[in-house]
Structure 1
Amino acid sequence: MPVVEPVDDRLGALLSTHPVAGERYLRTGGAALAFALGGVLLAAFLITHPDIVAGRLLALAILPTLGGLPIAVVQLNRARRTGRAARYELYENGLAHRTAGRTRSWTWDQVASVDADPQAAEAGPEQVPVVGLGQRLGRHFRCAVRFTDGSRILVDGCTADGPAIAQALLTHRPDAVPAQEAHRGTRVLLWTMPGVIAASCVAVVLMYQYMNSNTEDDIGAGALVALALAMIVCILVFVMSLVAFVMLLIGRRRVSAGPR
């Protein structure tokens, strides 16, 4: 068992340690990157062999790239920032965050804001594919903490027993509510996202009708590929906006319900 070096005399006795699964970020980010690169290679193959498939299907080859690349960027950036030896430590009078070559610590009095729902991670594996993907990526639980010295930490589902950290923070600092501005952006998104969803859906329907009511010779090969790419982008916007809208609604419902 590794010996834990003292962090700060103010923190008191060590209560628990919570390793961060940095390799999980790397694994999921690498898989998403491979998925995105597969889409690029498939698209390149179809472009160099236009006689194999119609231009409409070329856009489908871009879909893995559009879906996998953002996930790869986020997860690999987390892996870079977290490293392989990161962990949180709970003490009697505060907490600490250790990474390779760096240790930060704070007392409970230094906690300025806590935005978390400890019950969010208690549910079992979600059967809904999109939400299940969020669980694999560690997005099913989130605890954002801001301290009086300006430091911030973000504990997510890749942290061992992350809800225990959130519960400790809320127990010692029940008055550390999120800034009102943090919820203002959520309200704006909840009002604007339905419009984005509707607009992208209408655009997909109109482009699909146009492409299927005209032959490839009438539209032209270049225009057909451009329309197909535009349609797939609109589909991606529709799916991502719909998922984000649902997740925001779920999160707002949890906040409104409060601790159980």
Structure 2
Amino acid sequence: MGSLISTHAVDTGRRHALGRVAVAIALACAVLLALAFVLDLDGAQYGLLAAVVPLLVAAPAAAVLLRKARRPEVVELHDDGIAHVFGGVRRQWAWDEVAALDIAERGYDAGVDPDCTIRFADGALLHVSGRTENSRVIVAALDRHCADATRRPVRRPHKARAAAVLAVIALAGGGAAAWVVLTNPAGGLAVLGVAAAVPAVVSLILLVAVLVTGRR
């Protein structure tokens, strides 16, 4: 890899914030599940069991995000390549192993921290953004050493599909909850409306996260 040129620490604050949101969602879903066995609404309370779906998503997500937030992450620039150290696990690639680059153009020349996703020849991905210290130095090195690398969207198609699925779930759950509120706001179906609203809200939060982290 040659001599070490610079190190760039990654701020994990966003992972902490998203992890806390996921914990709050998981706790809310757990409460709804408990209410399903406590309330007596002529069977309508069992609609709250639908909260198990977002719970199964939010609980693992919270664990992963909070665990990652506690692990230090650093990007290293070397004479002959780039390295990524995360939680003590080190990966490194030579410059000629950079297969494709997806660099946000918006605001890049105006001094805004760039948003860049790197795909390497082994299929690995590395994301560099404003949360990476002096990220412009990394992108400048990529421009200098990897001028022949393909410039194309690396992660955008996957995020577009994820956004589409989350949008459908949010619309379906929100529509069902709205229908219950408009047609039977005080009846037993109200619990079903709450059950439909839970995955809708979770999907909406995840959709916003995908759109924000996927901006170009």
TM range (shorter): 0.5 to 0.7
Residues 180 and 38 of structure 1: CA distance in aligned 2, closer, same or farther (over 3 Å) = closer
- Of 173, 177, 198, the match for 1:232: 198
Q: Does 1:28 align with 2:20?
A: no
- Kept in 2, the 8 Å contact 1:203–1:234? The answer is no
C-alpha separation between the residues in 2 aligned to 1:165 and 1:25?
21
2:66 aligns to what?
Answer: 76
Structure 1: unaligned runs, 5 residues or longer: 1-7, 124-140, 255-260
C-alpha separation between the residues in 2 aligned to 1:14 and 1:48?
60
C-alpha separation between the residues in 2 aligned to 1:99 and 1:188?
28
Residues 231 and 39 of structure 1: CA distance in aligned 2, closer, same or farther (over 3 Å) = closer
What residue identity is the alignment partner of 2:199? V
Aligned residues: 204
1:95 aligns to what?
Answer: 82
Residues 233 and 30 of structure 1: CA distance in aligned 2, closer, same or farther (over 3 Å) = closer
C-alpha separation between the residues in 2 aligned to 1:197 and 1:48?
26
2:117 aligns to what?
Answer: 144
Residues 247 and 227 of structure 1: CA distance in aligned 2, closer, same or farther (over 3 Å) = same
Q: How does 1:48-197 map to 2 (within 5 A)?
A: 50=39, 69=59, 72-76=62-66, 78-79=68-69, 83-84=71-72, 86-99=73-86, 101-117=88-104, 119=107, 122=112, 142-178=115-151, 183-185=156-158
- Kept in 2, the 8 Å contact 1:25–1:76? The answer is no
CA RMSD of aligned residues (A): 4.4
Larger Rg: 1
Percent identity for Structure 1 against Structure 2? 25
Structure 2: unaligned runs, 5 residues or longer: none
Residues 196 and 175 of structure 1: CA distance in aligned 2, closer, same or farther (over 3 Å) = farther
C-alpha separation between the residues in 1 aligned to 2:142 and 2:177?
46
1:134 aligns to what?
Answer: none
Q: Does 1:243 align with 2:208?
A: yes
* Secondary structure, counterpart of 1:149 in structure 2: coil
C-alpha separation between the residues in 2 aligned to 1:35 and 1:195?
23
Tell me by how many angstroms 1:72 deviates.
1.7
